[in-house]
C-alpha cells in the first residue's frame, strides 16, 4: 500500500451497522475500508469548499466586491 503522503493516523470505532455500511461500499468499489473512508472525506471536503464558496457569494457583505461604478 502506498502511504508516503499519509502521515496522520486516525483510529475509529464503528457500531455494527456503520461497519457493514463501510465494508459493503468498499467491497462494491473494490477498495479497502480505509480507502473508501478517504474517498468519503475527500468528497465531503470538496462539497464543503463548494458550499463555502457559494455561501460567500450569496451572503457576502455588500461592500466586499465594490467597483468604481458603485458610488455610495
* Pick from 45, 46, 24: nearest CA to 36: 24
Separation between Cα atoms, residue 23 and residue 38, nearest integer Å: 13
In a domain, 9, yes or no: no
Q: Write the pLDDT tens digit of every residue in 49-65.
A: 888 776 666 665 666 66
- Answer whether 26's CB lies under 8 Å from 16's CB: no
C-alpha 56 chain-centroid distance: 18
Q: Output the pLDDT for position 13.
A: 97
- Kindly state whether residue 40 falls inside one of the protein's structural domains: yes
In the chain, which stretches have pLDDT less than 50? none
The DSSP letter of residue 31 is: S
Range of the domain at 31: 16-58
Instruction: Tell me the whole-structure pTM to 2 decimals.
Output: 0.66
Name the domain count of the chain.
Answer: 1
Amino acid at each position: 500500500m502506498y502511504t508516503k503522503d499519509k502521515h496522520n493516523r486516525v483510529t475509529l470505532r464503528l457500531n455494527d451497522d456503520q461497519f457493514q455500511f463501510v465494508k459493503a461500499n468498499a467491497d462494491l468499489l473494490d477498495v479497502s475500508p480505509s480507502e473508501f473512508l478517504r474517498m468519503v472525506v475527500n468528497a465531503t471536503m470538496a462539497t464543503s469548499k463548494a458550499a463555502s464558496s457559494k455561501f460567500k457569494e450569496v451572503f457576502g457583505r455588500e461592500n466586499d466586491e465594490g467597483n468604481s461604478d458603485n458610488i455610495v
